[in-house]
Structure 1
Amino acid sequence: MDMIERHVKMIELVADRGEIETGELARLLNTSEVTVRNDLNTLSKKGILARRRGYATLPNPDDTNYHMALHYEAKLKIAAAAAQRVRDGETIIVGTGSTCAMFAAQVVETRRNVTILTNSAYVAANLCKEPDGRIILLGGSYQKHSQCMVGPLIKRCLEDFHVGTAFVGADGFTDSGGFFGVDMERAEALREMVRSAERVCMLLDGSKLGKSGTVSFLNAACVAELFTDSSADSVLCENLRIRGMHVNIV
């Protein structure tokens, strides 16, 4: 098991249990406790996992890193596949949430001179030091628990922009309701962001397909392409294909 594979497995184990002893992690991963502690140091510096008194745990549930640890492997595959749609020198819009944050990181790592418009303060803070990524953080009111900008200033900031593709996420999708969010302010910000793009690409792990939410913010007809994983409901995916959406299952 190489380091990347071990990190993915470690994140999935901790996400499944909430917390786990480092000795138990070493046994499950068939490696030494020294290796586990080194891996935990690496992952805790990235904010994905936390260390507490001989245990590996998840970060604060309000933190983007907490959500990143849930279905981590699926989200990483979605992010990597979607990043292939971005060209060097392109300007794109990126939404909030853990999968979008992982996607933005993949873009900066694999593409050159890409400009990212985003309302995610998390994305801006984590990628601003990367040499090949230009981040434009849209203004607004800072929503502390989701680490993003919301409010009417988002619309005003976007007035002078028109981009090819917006890469966004959602908290759920149903055939009858479309794509859902759980927060009204974030949903309204996403509506404004996708209006500034010629096409919309949705990044959504399979656990959210078939799941409803509080605010319906986007119809399926408005989405050109969906990236999801093999856990997604096959009937829902086929229905979306029939309706003209390009569905990628990674």
Structure 2
Amino acid sequence: MSKRNTQQRRQIIVGLVQEQGEVSVEYLAHLFETSEVTIRKDLTALEESGFLLRRYGGAIKLPTEMNEESQEQLSKQKLAIASAAANQIRDHNRIIIDSGSTTGTLVKALHHSGLVVMTNSLALANELIALECEPTVLMTGGTWDARSESFQGKVAANVLRSYDFDQLFIGADGLDLTRGTTTFNELIGLSQVMAEVSREVIVMIESQKIGRKMPNLELEWQQIDKLITDDQLDPNVKQQIEALGVEVIVAK
């Protein structure tokens, strides 16, 4: 198949997922005669738009119950989580906001004075510099990772280690109740460094992702101080997480 522009390619991917139920990155890269990196970016964008669910090595069709109404609910959950996260921040705090759609929502909720904000995301940095509260914006630099659309690698890690921070706000693809936060991305080293240089680690995650196990362990429970999620969290799961020594904040 000849190369098509991004919009056309993504429309076809959505159709294939609907027809087949599941597609692999390798198959799509061969089909469109493009790189696996490009396909991963497509799948990430389509997941964030609510057209499919990412799975290790590819993507699957959305469950039938995840209709437009549930996608609207998911957006409301992200906003509630972001508002609750913003309430944890004090004026003049030095914080890290990791790349991601849930953590990215936090940027819009920032209103504090004198903030210093580090991020590894170009998109979030652009949003931060436009805020009326005018935070001091720091970037990690490093090696650009197209899959996560963020900077990673040794340079980014070294930059982080030259600072200290009050709080880290980080998301996750999944939350394993026995191990900790999990992710599709194999580049998890920078998340570890972010946690190391922060006095408080706060995970922002929708309740739908809790119990979802991804192939890569990102942060273990003992590294996490607080977890902020939405009001659909099962009370029994909340108690289970709190028993691990993690404060659970339910956003409403």
TM-score (norm 1): 0.70
State the one-letter code of the partner of 1:130. L
Q: Is the 8 A contact 1:68 1:99 kept in 2?
A: no
RMSD (CA atoms) = 2.2
Kindly tell me the number of residue pairs found equivalent between the two proteins.
190
Match of 2:228?
A: 227
Whole-Å separation in 2 of the counterparts to 1:124 and 1:61: 23
Q: Is 1:163 matched with 2:165? A: yes
How much has 1:162 moved relative to structure 2? 0.9
1:68 to 1:191, Cα distance in 2 relative to 1, 3 A: farther
Whole-Å separation in 2 of the counterparts to 1:161 and 1:201: 18
Match of 1:183?
A: 185
Whole-Å separation in 1 of the counterparts to 2:235 and 2:211: 11
State the one-letter code of the partner of 1:149. F
Match of 2:121?
A: 120
Match of 1:129?
A: 130
Match of 1:150?
A: 152
Q: Is the 8 A contact 1:225 1:245 kept in 2?
A: yes
1:204-234 CA deviation, whole Å, 9 max, x = no partner? Answer: 1101100001210211121111100122233
TM-score (norm 2): 0.70
Q: Is the 8 A contact 1:184 1:215 kept in 2?
A: yes
After TM superposition, the runs of 4+ consecutive aligned structure 1 residues lying more than 4 A away are none
How much has 1:68 moved relative to structure 2? 7.0
Segments of structure 1 that go 5 or more residues without pairing to the other structure are: 1-17, 19-58
Aligned residues with identical type, % of pairs: 22
State the one-letter code of the partner of 1:115. V
How much has 1:66 moved relative to structure 2? 5.7
SS of the aligned residue for 1:235 comes to helix
Whole-Å separation in 2 of the counterparts to 1:86 and 1:68: 29
SS of the aligned residue for 1:158 comes to helix
1:68 to 1:97, Cα distance in 2 relative to 1, 3 A: farther
Segments of structure 2 that go 5 or more residues without pairing to the other structure are: 1-13, 15-40, 51-70
Match of 1:82?
A: 85
Q: Is the 8 A contact 1:171 1:213 kept in 2?
A: yes
Aligned to 2:108, which of 102, 105, 109?
A: 105
State the one-letter code of the partner of 1:136. L
